[in-house]
Amino acid sequence: MFAIEKEFHFCAAHRIPELGERHKCAQVHGHSYRVVLRIEGDALKGPGFLVEFCELDAFEALLKTHFDHKFLNDLPEFQTIAPTTENLAQILFGEAKRMFAQTVELRVQETQKTWVIFRG
C-alpha cells in the first residue's frame, strides 16, 4: 500500500449564526486554513507514481478559485448547512474524491491547535 499527502492553504471568513449572537463564532471572523489531502493505493502508474504531485494542482486551483478569500456563508455549498470546519472538510473531501478516486482522507486545520479529519 502506498500513500501520498500534499498540503494546501487558503484563507476565508465565515460566521456561524446558529450559535447565537453571544458566541464568538457567531461573529464574522476568518481563518488561514491548512488542508492536507491523503491518497492511497496499491497500483503505481507510469514510471512509479501513485498520483503525480503535479496532478494535485487541480485541487489547489479549486481551493484558490472557489474558496480562497471568500465569505464561506455566501457559497452555494453552505446555503443549507453551517460553514463549520467539519462541513468544510466533508465538502472538500467530496471535491477531492471526484478528482482523485483514491482519496481516503482530508484534514482541515482551522487554527494552530484545532483541525478536523474526514475519512471516506
Give the residue extent of every domain in the chain.
2-119
Mean pLDDT of the chain: 97
Q: Do residues 116 and 93 touch, judged by C-beta distance below 8 A? A: no
* Architecture in CATH of 2-119: 2-Layer Sandwich (3.30)
Residue 47 three-state SS: coil
Residue 21 three-state SS: coil
Query: pLDDT tens-digit profile of 90-103?
Result: 999 999 999 999 99
Q: Could you tell me the pTM of the whole model?
A: 0.95
